[in-house]
Structure 1
Amino acid sequence: MRHHWISTVAVVLVALVLVTAAHFSTSKPSYTSQTSIVFTSRAFESFRDPDSATAYTTSLIQSYTNYLQSANVLNPIAEKAGNGVEGSALQQSVQLKPGPLMLQISYENTDRGTADLVVRELVSAVRRAVSTTTPAANGTPMLQIVQAGVITDQVPGTGRSIPRSLVIGLVIGVIIGLVHLFLRALLDSRVRDVEDVLEVTDASVLGALGDPADSSEGIAVLAHNLGFVAPREGVHSVLLVSSVPGEGAGATALGAADALAASGTRTLLIDADLRGREVTRLAVNDTGSGTGNGTESGNRNGTGTGAGSGTGGARGLSDLLAERAGLSDVVTHREGVADLLAAGSRVGNPAELLAGGGLDSALARLGADYDVVVLAGAPLLTGSDSLVIAPRVAATVPVVGLGRVRKPDLLQAVELLDASGVVPGGVVLTGTGRAAGRDPYSALGTATAR
């Protein structure tokens, strides 16, 4: 309900308006015409036994009831009534209730005249049947009708009524809204908030970002938390990786690395997504041109020599792993922010390059020059690129795009890391909104404080 309550309320309101309008405009009053035919019987004069007289009288009244239900009576009445009334329908809708010295008849129709006509015709049929009943010895009919008045009234609760239409519209609207909510919950498996994330993994939330490219407060918190990552073989290396494309892992890695560098931490950002190259593209847009390639010392101090673009020319991680360039050729100094090791030349076998020993060697050498090395990996479900990196860094942090990744995909990504022997060192949420996590009593506020 917390995910779809807005759309559910909208569906209920639309259904309420439509159903109310439809019910009110199509409502028609119904009319019930009824009579109680009261008889007197001379059987009590002819029979010595009162029980026999009662049984005889009751059988006569029952015979009139059976007679009124016959097609010979109802078909002519239906033809006379018109308005689409049929004899077979009358047989189902005319109510006949025989009793001692009484026969009750009722009929309901949306047309007052039709209802009145049908009952009056049935009374006339009873009169004819009574007049032909075998007479007593003196020629008087055995039964006589003493009362047969017909009353026609509108059925209570029928006709147009705004309150009744509103109640019906509300009930049907709520039912439609619940069906809508059930189907949305059944079909929509996207991860929408921290509760959904915690159903998949119990890793701590290291940061909650609205837009990774424009979330200075959230990025600062994330950078601060990344600074506490325990080293692996002396290297503070962190891999930020998403489950599927579009969750903002590259932008998050770039922002966190730059925030770390701005705080005085010697930081290197590696674009390890040799296919998508998101960090490389973003870094070029942010910095335009850089200081070029130079020596490792020159990269950190901004005094290196040589020519190249802000991302180290066309060379980068792929060239380093393929042994087509050295570290001094591919690490680019970016003034005031994190140094960058771009993705490099495009290759057809990125997973093979990353799985080789060149990455371990490079991380060991970089760990001596930088306090923190941040890697941005390829989405876990697009290939094995990041899975071969994760066991070789100090921490792997999944980036979860709320509203962008489905829960089964996130679960599969966590299971892939687990199968590789990697326990997530925390998670980062993107797409949380501006005020997300600021309430310390909220689920997100609690998760980010763990």
Structure 2
Amino acid sequence: MELTDYLRILRKYWRSITAITLVGVLVTAVFSMLTKPTYTSNTSIFISVSSVSTVGDLNSGSTYAESQVQSFAKVAKTDIVLQPVIDELGLQTTPTSLADDLTVTAPTKTATLDMAVVGDTPESAAQIATAIGKQLVATIDALTPPGADGTKPVVATIIRPAQIPTSPTTPKTMQNIALGLLLGLLIGAGQAILRDMLNQSIRGDRDIERVTDVPVIGQVPNDDNAAAYPLILNSDPHSARAEAYRSLRTNLQFLGLDKGKRAVVVTSSVPGEGKTTTAINVASTIAAAGERVLVIDADLRRPAVAKYLHAEPSVGLTTVLIGEAELGEVIQPTSDSLMDVLASGPVPPNPAELLGLPHMQQLIENASKRYDTVIVDAPPLLPVTDATVLSRIADGTLVVVGAGVAKRPELDAALEKLDMVDARILGLLLTRVNQRDSSTYTYEYTYGPDSPKAGQTKIKTRTKNPGGTYSSGAEHKTGRRAEREAQPVQ
């Protein structure tokens, strides 16, 4: 994984990372609030040697004092020192417990003892530290044998009296919160990376790159109104979604498909990825460029093209394939004068066998002679074999990949089915893309007061009834270009 991959993961899962980090901070803050505070008071004792007259005696005495410091450090935590302190202060504890609250250190090459006493209150910590210091001085004096002249060769002196601490030693609230913040960030980032690695869903082009080398020739942004207004060039011709289909049209034109040899099958791995809306929008954008386009609804199991384009669904592809009508008799015009539609017709009991007949190949050849481009809406690849059959006789196949719908194993299996029949895959179209999951850049352009966007009007859609009449539908916005269309699409 590259740095950009980590940044993408952080941007994608920032909510969970933030939540886990806040939980870490909250837990450590609550722990610090509930922890009973303790206070530490410090005192120091200096060990010196008396009755030295020469420099040599002084050096020897200093060495002797340093060696004695280690012994006195152990003495400080024994009952001989601590029990008198307990008795003097009336403490409800034992020498062993008090020793646990006492820390004695002897700095290297020094003759000092540093003692730290932990107490429940600042006053008690200072009181106990003072008492231990005095008792240790008395104990050292008692344990040191007198010299020939009756003087003690080792003298202990308190050089730093115990002070009342002004702040608690524990808990260290800010330190704990900083630690909780760091741990929360690490855990949050770790779970985000793990989720991304284990997640099989396809969200962006990076996920597709893990599956195949087939290029992504277009990305269509997510639009919550796509179901209500599938034909985006009519409902909002200046939207990012409309521009995405125009970009796809341009890419298809540069794939080496000449006019009259542009029979393109549009399919997907599983249902719900947006293949039908892609088929009609690609056809609409090609027609907007001045080419004649025919949309064939070859999804004989769940046909939807006729509904989207307000065509009559009772006659169409199956009518021609079974020999009940000629192609020209069942082709229906749409609101765009350059785009026609061949509906599915009656749903047959054997769609795959019907599409595999030589009549279907002959139908596509005849349609390619009449139109510059033929767009064939086919069923998904994995549930049925219809799209695989159609891909063999078409000039190319466009595979739609729905972000958040398809999974990597499903896309891999679908492409493998196309490879088995040597179908020409033109590319992949990634639909329903959220901006945070895309590695591409998006730009916005503000329309001026004289632009088509500013001249939008509201017109009423018309729904064709079975009897051939039209009834008014809901209002929606469209640009000036749609004002000339006789039958706007819902």
TM more than 0.5: yes
Alignment partner of 1:41 is 2:49: yes
Task: State the alpha-carbon separation in 1 of the partners of residues 172 and 61 from structure 2.
Answer: 51
- Name the aligned partner's letter for residue 96 of structure 1: T
- Name the aligned partner's letter for residue 203 of structure 1: P
Alignment partner of 1:32 is 2:40: yes
Question: 1:252-279, CA deviations, whole angstroms, 9 ceiling, x for partnerless residues?
Answer: 112333555576644332233334x2xx
Please name the residue that 2:432 is paired with: 431
Mapped contact 2:106–2:114 kept (Cα < 8 A): yes
Task: State the alpha-carbon separation in 1 of the partners of residues 93 and 375 from structure 2.
Answer: 82
The match for 1:312 among 311, 314, 332 is 314
Q: Aligned in 2, Cα 1:335/1:6: closer, same or farther, shift over 3 Å? A: closer
- Name the aligned partner's letter for residue 333 of structure 1: Q
- Name the aligned partner's letter for residue 343 of structure 2: L
Task: State the alpha-carbon separation in 2 of the partners of residues 438 and 431 from structure 1.
Answer: 15
Task: State the alpha-carbon separation in 2 of the partners of residues 412 and 74 from structure 1.
Answer: 78
Please name the residue that 2:389 is paired with: 388
Q: How does 1:58-69 map to 2 (within 5 A)?
A: 58-69=66-77
Q: Aligned in 2, Cα 1:210/1:88: closer, same or farther, shift over 3 Å? A: same
Structure 1: runs of 5 or more not aligned: 291-309, 441-450
Please name the residue that 2:481 is paired with: none
Alignment partner of 1:215 is 2:232: yes
Answer with 217-226 or 58-67: which moved more. Answer: 217-226
Please name the residue that 1:306 is paired with: none
- Name the aligned partner's letter for residue 144 of structure 1: V
Please name the residue that 2:274 is paired with: 248
- Name the aligned partner's letter for residue 196 of structure 2: A
Mapped contact 1:123–1:148 kept (Cα < 8 A): no
Please name the residue that 1:445 is paired with: none
Mapped contact 1:43–1:56 kept (Cα < 8 A): no
SS at 2:272 equivalent? coil
Q: Aligned in 2, Cα 1:93/1:189: closer, same or farther, shift over 3 Å? A: farther
Mapped contact 1:30–1:155 kept (Cα < 8 A): no
The match for 2:306 among 257, 261, 283 is 283
Please name the residue that 1:302 is paired with: none
Q: Aligned in 2, Cα 1:114/1:227: closer, same or farther, shift over 3 Å? A: same
Please name the residue that 1:307 is paired with: none
- Name the aligned partner's letter for residue 215 of structure 1: I
Q: Aligned in 2, Cα 1:342/1:2: closer, same or farther, shift over 3 Å? A: same
SS at 2:197 equivalent? helix
Please name the residue that 2:421 is paired with: 420
Please name the residue that 1:117 is paired with: 127
Please name the residue that 2:155 is paired with: 144
Mapped contact 1:273–1:376 kept (Cα < 8 A): yes
SS at 2:132 equivalent? helix
Task: State the alpha-carbon separation in 2 of the partners of residues 281 and 112 from structure 1.
Answer: 80
Question: 1:90-139, CA deviations, whole angstroms, 9 ceiling, x for partnerless residues?
Answer: 44861321665432222355632343234234324413422432334455
Alignment partner of 1:127 is 2:133: no
SS at 2:362 equivalent? helix
Q: In percent, how many aligned pairs have the same letter?
A: 25
Q: Aligned in 2, Cα 1:82/1:408: closer, same or farther, shift over 3 Å? A: farther
SS at 2:129 equivalent? helix
Tell me the CA shift for residue 53 of structure 1.
5.0
Please name the residue that 2:14 is paired with: 8
Please name the residue that 1:205 is paired with: 217
- Name the aligned partner's letter for residue 232 of structure 2: S
- Name the aligned partner's letter for residue 103 of structure 2: V
Please name the residue that 1:186 is paired with: 197
- Name the aligned partner's letter for residue 97 of structure 1: A
Please name the residue that 2:472 is paired with: none
Mapped contact 1:230–1:236 kept (Cα < 8 A): no
SS at 2:270 equivalent? coil
Structure 2: runs of 5 or more not aligned: 1-6, 445-490
Tell me the CA shift for residue 394 of structure 1.
0.4
Task: State the alpha-carbon separation in 1 of the partners of residues 329 and 432 from structure 2.
Answer: 33
Answer with 381-390 or 201-210: which moved more. Answer: 201-210
Please name the residue that 1:236 is paired with: 262
Mapped contact 1:75–1:87 kept (Cα < 8 A): no
RMSD (CA atoms): 4.8
SS at 2:163 equivalent? strand
Q: Aligned in 2, Cα 1:102/1:262: closer, same or farther, shift over 3 Å? A: closer
Please name the residue that 1:305 is paired with: none
Mapped contact 1:312–1:330 kept (Cα < 8 A): no
Task: State the alpha-carbon separation in 2 of the partners of residues 78 and 273 from structure 1.
Answer: 92
Q: Aligned in 2, Cα 1:36/1:382: closer, same or farther, shift over 3 Å? A: same
Please name the residue that 2:297 is paired with: 271
Q: How does 1:339-418 map to 2 (within 5 A)?
A: 339-342=341-344, 344-347=346-349, 350-418=351-419
Please name the residue that 2:453 is paired with: none
SS at 1:273 equivalent? coil
The match for 1:106 among 109, 112, 116 is 116
